[in-house]
Homo-oligomer: A and B are copies of this chain.
Amino acid sequence: MQAEIITIGDEILIGQIVDSNSAFISKELNKIGVSVYQITSVQDDKQHILNTLEEANTRSQVVIITGGLGPTKDDITKHTLCQYFDDTLIENKGVLAHIEMLFAKYISTPISDLNRLQALVPTGADVLQNNFGTAPGIWMEKGGTAFISLPGVPFEMKGLITNEVLPRIIKKYKRPHIIHKTIMTYGLGESAIANTIEDWENSLPKEIKLAYLPSLGRVRLRLTAKGENKEQLQNLVNIEAKKLYPLIGDIIYGEEEDESLEALIAKLLSQKEMTLATAESFTGGKIAQQITSIPGASNYFKGSMVTYSTETKINVLGIDEVLVEKYSVVSEEVAVAMAKNVKQILNTDFAIATTGNAGPTKGDSDEPVGTVFIAISTPELTFAQKFTMGNHRERITQKSVNKAFELLQKEILKF
């Protein structure tokens, strides 16, 4: 059982956008036991698309096509599919009603003939409803191969994959069972972990494969088991995962790949009915933004004071000017004062504060680029730690945000 992905659109081949859709689709297919044999990106060129469809047909049972479904002239996927299937386009009443509903409800410009054209689908196609946009998904079959055409807009594509495509594939095809379990760790590097769990890794049963997935202060350990007997595989994976706790239990924070540390913190705070505020300098609102990206954050997150200038730290967050002069704005003392003050001002149980230098220039302190202080305030104490996060602006920020959540989660667990 194998699949292929074809992405259509000049924008990928001129390097204007990075094809992140294929990674998402591959990951989702792998989770349900479908292996992806090839990903092919082709231009908006009818003959080229036709050749690619034909080749994929000889190799794979499922071909997922993204892109080229927009309302404008350069989008030719639907017409090309019609040619490939020797079919014609016909207006689909359900799709038209959906487009009209979307325009009436969300879109300020009047609906045009171009928009109505998106309701045209090949007569032999199954329509996959796109809840987030006007271009429907299309499912057609030829010679035992399913061709599934989806819009290239990532969130529309994702909705269609999750709600329409995967359930249909699961129902239609027999697949091997693939069990994944991901152990989420923080605070230790990939090779240090590898050294610690070497014996465990070497004695893994042959059905289980291990992958290290490192990123910015976190390493995910992914166990994958593939075979016929689902329960047996699940058992095997659970047993091996459990053996990790005596070895590296102190750095494990979760076992669900799709659950972020912020989401775990959200759960903890909600359960304990406790609240959080942040005071951010060089992280510039990123901590607040990641917290509020979780639905329901208003239950425990009261707000953030993004004090990007020293002036704002003093005037708005009430940091003592003497403290800044004595220790500099990038210091343990200022980080601690920021956390204490924001906790008090916003009247919360916990607070995170950050001050540091993300570069490219030194800013309002003498600390070198990459030096950051992260402070945590709890109902019992306040502390700050110093870190050196490298010299890449974006990575300094993201690593610090990750570290802040790590420090905070450990503290919340104490209450």
Which residues of chain A have a CB within 8 Å of any CB of chain B? 10-20, 22-30, 35-43, 48, 52, 70-74, 105-109, 112, 114-115, 132, 153, 155, 180, 188-192, 194-195, 201, 209-215, 222, 224, 257, 278, 280, 282-289, 291-293, 295-298, 301-309, 311-312, 315-316, 345-347, 359-361, 363-364, 370, 388-395, 397
A330 to chain B, nearest CB (A): 12
A92 to chain B, nearest CB (A): 18
A47 to B300, CA, bound (A): 52
Knowing A15-B28, A284-B289 are in contact, say whether A392-B155 is a contact too (CB < 8 A). yes
Q: A304 contacts which of B24, B285, B295 (Cβ < 8 Å)?
A: B285
Residues of B close to A190: CB separation below 8 A: 70-72
Contact B72 A212 (CB under 8 A): yes
A70 to B392, CA, bound (A): 20
Contact B11 A16 (CB under 8 A): no
Contact A36 B16 (CB under 8 A): no
Q: A285 contacts which of B35, B43, B306 (Cβ < 8 Å)?
A: B306
Contact A316 B303 (CB under 8 A): yes
Residues of B close to A390: CB separation below 8 A: 106, 132
Contact A298 B292 (CB under 8 A): no
Residues of B close to A312: CB separation below 8 A: 302-303, 346
The residue in chain B whose Cβ has the minimal distance to the Cβ of A282 is B292
Residues of B close to A10: CB separation below 8 A: 211, 224
The residue in chain B whose Cβ has the minimal distance to the Cβ of A364 is B298
Residues of B close to A215: CB separation below 8 A: 153
Q: A296 contacts which of B17, B282, B297, B361 (Cβ < 8 Å)?
A: B361
The residue in chain B whose Cβ has the minimal distance to the Cβ of A30 is B14
A108 to B194, CA, bound (A): 16
Residues of B close to A13: CB separation below 8 A: 26, 35-39
Contact B18 A36 (CB under 8 A): no
Residues of B close to A15: CB separation below 8 A: 22-30, 36
Residues of B close to A393: CB separation below 8 A: 293, 295
Q: Is the interface of A mostly helix, strand, loop or mixed?
A: mixed
Contact B306 A304 (CB under 8 A): yes
Contact A115 B191 (CB under 8 A): yes
Residues of B close to A388: CB separation below 8 A: 105-106, 108
Contact B43 A40 (CB under 8 A): no
Contact B18 A18 (CB under 8 A): yes
A370 to B132, CA, bound (A): 13
A304 to B171, CA, bound (A): 50
Contact A394 B303 (CB under 8 A): no
Q: A191 contacts which of B40, B43, B71, B316 (Cβ < 8 Å)?
A: B71
Contact B37 A214 (CB under 8 A): no
Contact A37 B43 (CB under 8 A): yes
The residue in chain B whose Cβ has the minimal distance to the Cβ of A213 is B11
Residues of B close to A287: CB separation below 8 A: 285
Knowing A284-B291, A304-B306 are in contact, say whether A345-B316 is a contact too (CB < 8 A). yes
A71-B194, A278-B306, A296-B361 given; 5 more Cβ-contact pairs under 8 Å: A16-B27, A19-B23, A74-B210, A105-B388, A285-B288
A109 to chain B, nearest CB (A): 4
Q: A112 contacts which of B191, B222, B346, B370 (Cβ < 8 Å)?
A: B191
Contact A106 B74 (CB under 8 A): no
A135 to chain B, nearest CB (A): 11
Closest 4 CB pairs of A and B: A284-B292, A15-B27, A285-B288, A285-B285
A392 to B158, CA, bound (A): 12
Contact B155 A16 (CB under 8 A): no
Residues of B close to A70: CB separation below 8 A: 190, 212, 214
Contact A308 B316 (CB under 8 A): no
A194 to B27, CA, bound (A): 35
Q: A311 contacts which of B291, B302, B392 (Cβ < 8 Å)?
A: B302
A291 to B316, CA, bound (A): 19
